[in-house]
Amino acid sequence: MAEAKTCTDPRCPAHGSLKRRGAVLEGRVVSAKARKTAVVEIPFVRRVRKYERLEKRRSKIHAHIPECIAVREGDLVRIEECRRLSRTKAFVVVKKIEGTKLRALPPAWQ
C-alpha cells in the first residue's frame, strides 16, 4: 500500500497499536458514507441438509477504515476482527483485494 503521508491513526493495524485477532473475512464495500466506517457485505455458502443444496447467504459487517487505506463503495476488501471499536464495529479493513473474485464463493456464484 503506497502512502502519500504518514498514517497517524491509532486504530490502524499497520501503523497504530490496534491488535487483530479472530476472524478474517473478505467482502464487498456496500457503503462508505460514514467517515471512518465501511459497511462490508460478506457472502458465504451454507449447506441446507434437508434439501442437500447449497444456499448463498450474506451478512453485513461494519469495519473501521484506517487513514492509510482509501476505500470506496464497490471495493473488495479483507477485514480482520479486532477489539470492539464502537457499538457496531469490531473489525478493521486490512487491505483492498485486487481483482473481482472473492475466495469464499465458487466462481459461478460470484
Residue type, 40: V
**Spatial separation of the C-alpha atoms in residues 64 and 107, rounded to whole Å:** 28
**Spatial separation of the C-alpha atoms in residues 35 and 53, rounded to whole Å:** 40
Burial annotation 8-44 (CB, 10 A radius, 16+ → b, else e): ebebbbebbebeeeeeebbbbbeebeeebbbbbebbe
Using the rule CB under 5 A, give the single segment among 2-10, 23-31, 44-52, 77-85 that binds Zn ion: 2-10
Nearer to Zn ion, 10 or 106 (CB): 10
Q: Report the residue from 15, 20, 95, 96 that binds Zn ion according to the rule CB under 5 A.
A: 15
Determine, following the binding rule CB under 5 A, whether residue 68 of this chain makes contact with Zn ion.
Answer: yes
Determine, following the binding rule CB under 5 A, whether residue 105 of this chain makes contact with Zn ion.
Answer: no
Determine, following the binding rule CB under 5 A, whether residue 13 of this chain makes contact with Zn ion.
Answer: no
Determine, following the binding rule CB under 5 A, whether residue 12 of this chain makes contact with Zn ion.
Answer: yes
Binding site for Zn ion (CB under 5 A): 7, 12, 14-15, 66, 68
